[in-house]
Amino acid sequence: MHDPRVLLDPATDAVRKLARRGFSLDVASLEKLLATRNSAIQRGDEARAESKRVATAVKGAAPEERAALVTRARDLKGVVSAAEEEHRAAEAELQDLLLGIPNLPADELPDGASDEDAELVRTWGERPELDFTPLDHVDLGEKLGILDLPRATKLAGPRFAVLRGKGAALERAIARYLLDLHTQRHGYTEFSVPTLVNRVTMTGTGQLPKFEQDLFKTGVGDRELYLIPTAEVPLTNLHAKETLELEQLPLAYTAHTPCFRSEAGSYGKDTRGLIRLHEFSKVELVRIVDAERSRDELEVLLGHAEAAMQGLGLAYRVVKLAAGDIGFSAEFTYDIEVWLPGQDAYREISSVSDFGTFQARRAGIRTKAKDGRRGFAATLNGSGLPIGRTLVAVLEQGQQADGSVRLPEALVPYAGFEVLEPA
């Protein structure tokens, strides 16, 4: 969320920056609401100050003056009440407007609004050279006997998956490998967090109010709850409404959770197999940092996600997303795209984003330095990695001519086997 005064400051250049991501800032409405709110605050403050003066004057007033002063005090009480009501109404309308304004994209992002406009940063690893026609992960999974989509559809409808036998073991192995990597080598603290959260928590990281149609909503009695789309939501909001000592930053958190997304509007795209499911699991990485170091911390976070890919020996590339293609709360995003031989294409496996102070302002995550300086923290998050898409990459890059799949060495101790054989 933004400070409205900063948005209206010509030096911020908010209109141009937001236009790069296809958003038109309603400057007139913003100015009007801000002026209305400030005017109401001023009138209320002036009326309260006069009310105090009148109350003092009543105590020493002559009888013939007291009645007029009492009437004036009553009138001032009404002025204060009206000003407070106008302030509340203007503040609520202003907050609604601000909650719908996305973050300002960084100037160094390329122009554009699609993945075709992304800027290549680097590639890593050798794409497998296969002397046979590669299968995609769905055909591989079915031939190996580890993937059962028809029964998943029977249980819950389309866009769900069932893994069985060594497929389920491989899923568990990937999660354990990733958690050990990030906690033992990269210094993240692991959390077990709720997968149902309230509206305030969803609003803090930017999922609400704009993306309510993408969420699964439920409730207990009169409690309104949402299934998390990513562990970013509870991990970031662990420190909502808190003031953190600046010298204690950065904080590095991770969690392995199920994730739930309606994927509204994506039907017909990536709906086959494990790429785009309603329910999947992911190891998420969150960093809460000094706002002045957020871009440096983004490179650290990207390095951790890349280390997970490199540890698995998966060929990938890193791209810098275009200004119009980054998420609502992000100001800068890298995507890691893994090579999938079965699709003959690179596909996104991890997004790593710097949100600046945008989420911290919404969630109320403040900082205080030893010298008394106060501000807002910066937040960052990245996939480190999604279990399903990582499994897809392991299957497709590890497939052999005889239909088997050889696992990356890093997974063998966790899985307990080296090769998946056709059923």
Neighbouring C-beta atoms of residue 362, cutoff 10 Å: 25
Going from the C-alpha of 97 to that of each of 2, 30, 204, 210, 362, the distances in angstroms are 10, 8, 15, 11, 13
Catalytic residue among 276, 293, 295, 406: 276
Asked if residue 349 lies in contact with residue 389, where contact means CB atoms within 8 angstroms, the answer is yes
* Torsions phi, psi for 129 (to 5 deg): -95, 105
Q: Annotated binding site for ATP, which residues?
A: 261-263, 348-351
- Judge whether 299 counts as a catalytic residue: no
Catalytic residue among 306, 361, 389, 396: 389
- Judge whether 126 counts as a catalytic residue: no
Asked if residue 342 lies in contact with residue 134, where contact means CB atoms within 8 angstroms, the answer is yes
CA neighbours within 13 Å on the CB side: how many for 298?
21
Q: Annotated binding site, which residues?
A: 230-232, 261-263, 284, 348-351, 381, 383
Catalytic residue among 51, 294, 329, 351: 351
- Judge whether 261 counts as a catalytic residue: yes
- Judge whether 366 counts as a catalytic residue: no
Catalytic residue among 171, 297, 348, 396: 348
Q: Return d(Cα 87, Cα 91) in angstroms, integer.
A: 6
Going from the C-alpha of 38 to that of each of 42, 45, 160, 161, 340, the distances in angstroms are 6, 11, 51, 54, 56
- Judge whether 348 counts as a catalytic residue: yes
Locus of tokens 């933004």: 2
Instruction: Sheet with 216-220: list strands edge to edge.
Output: 196-197, 223-227, 216-220
Q: Annotated binding site for L-serine, which residues?
A: 230-232, 261, 284, 381, 383
Catalytic residue among 20, 159, 261, 287: 261
What is the set of active-site residues? 261, 276, 348, 351, 389
